[in-house]
Amino acid sequence: MPETYRTILEEIARNKSSILSVFSDFCRMSACALAAGTREEEYFEVIKPYSKEELNRFSKALGLLILEMENYPFEDVLGTYYPEISSKASQQDRGEFYTPSPVCELMARMTFDPHKVIQEGKPVTINEPCCGSGGMVLALAKLFSPVVLESEESYVDLLRFTCQDINPIGVDMCFINTSLWGIPAVMVWGDTLRMTVNKVWSNVHWLRVGEDQRQAFRQVMRLLVEPAPKEPPDEFADEPASPAVAATEQFTFDLEI
């Protein structure tokens, strides 16, 4: 049987705790490794329980994951494995429901016309409030890739994803998927319904396309173009001011002159 990232993780899990725990640590290590030095503290914290040999095996598992992903462009290789090792009961308790890839691709095609977006050439912002491992994100990005367009040029850079999930494993899986497939995205670990945020991470492609600067520029231009809000009418404007107020206003006026 050929060695895969799954067999390596299952091998490590036999000497540790559950496979779900090992898989979670693998996703966190991989996400930190792909974060361009911005998640170093997390990385050193998560590797503490493992030996040097086990960490080398984790590194090989990441390499095998990347090779497998190259054979299945924009497919959710991580997300299909997660339901296998996570019990249905625990998934339902957390409100997790896996969406099959064909359904994701159908929804993506119903939502976007990639040719129209490409013709306009303007970045498109998309919010995925319960991203999970990023199946919907990958399906949409696939529409803008050479895989579907049958061209040498990729237009994935036109997409700007904000991906949020309450499960940190899901956020890490989505971080890995978007980082390895060149999808500009920012990850939010938090509860969308309660509007709580634990942590936020931007992947290297979000930074590469300069999305933070683009949004800041748009905000400045909006402030310059939009008129200043009108002040509410003063209910007492027609009433004569009291002697004390009138004296104060006169004093202030004299000082300004």
Which CATH number characterizes residue 222's domain?
Answer: 3.40.50
Evaluate whether 141 touches 175 at the Cβ level (below 8 Å): no
b/e code 127-150 from CB counts within 10 Å (16+ = b)? ebebbbbbbbbbbbbbbbbeebbe
User: 128 in a domain, yes or no?
Assistant: yes
Contacts of 107 (CB under 8 A, 6+ apart): 136, 139
The pLDDT assigned to 246 comes to 43
Q: Is pLDDT at 61 greater than 90 in this prediction?
A: yes
Tens of pLDDT, residue by residue over 126-175, are 999 999 999 999 999 999 999 899 888 999 999 999 999 999 999 999 99
| Shared-domain flag, residues 56 and 173 | no
The pLDDT assigned to 101 comes to 87
Helix (H, G, I), strand (E, B) or coil at 245: helix
Prediction pTM value: 0.83
Bridge partners of residue 185, in order along the sequence: 161
User: 18 in a domain, yes or no?
Assistant: yes
User: 89 in a domain, yes or no?
Assistant: no
Q: Is pLDDT at 55 greater than 50 in this prediction?
A: yes
Minimum mean pLDDT among 121-125, 214-218, 230-234: which range?
Answer: 230-234
Contacts of 204 (CB under 8 A, 6+ apart): 34, 35, 36, 179
User: 88 in a domain, yes or no?
Assistant: no
| Shared-domain flag, residues 137 and 213 | yes
Closest CA relative to residue 113, chosen from 102, 127, 124: 124
| Shared-domain flag, residues 59 and 116 | no
Q: Which domain holds residue 20?
A: 1-71
User: 147 in a domain, yes or no?
Assistant: yes
| Shared-domain flag, residues 40 and 141 | no
| Shared-domain flag, residues 65 and 105 | no
The pLDDT assigned to 69 comes to 96
| 132 Rama sector, left if φ>0, alpha if ψ -120 to 50, beta otherwise | left
Q: How far is the C-alpha of 200 from the C-alpha of 213, rounded, in Å?
A: 17
Write phi, then psi, for 254 (nearest 5 degrees).
-60, -40
User: 255 in a domain, yes or no?
Assistant: no
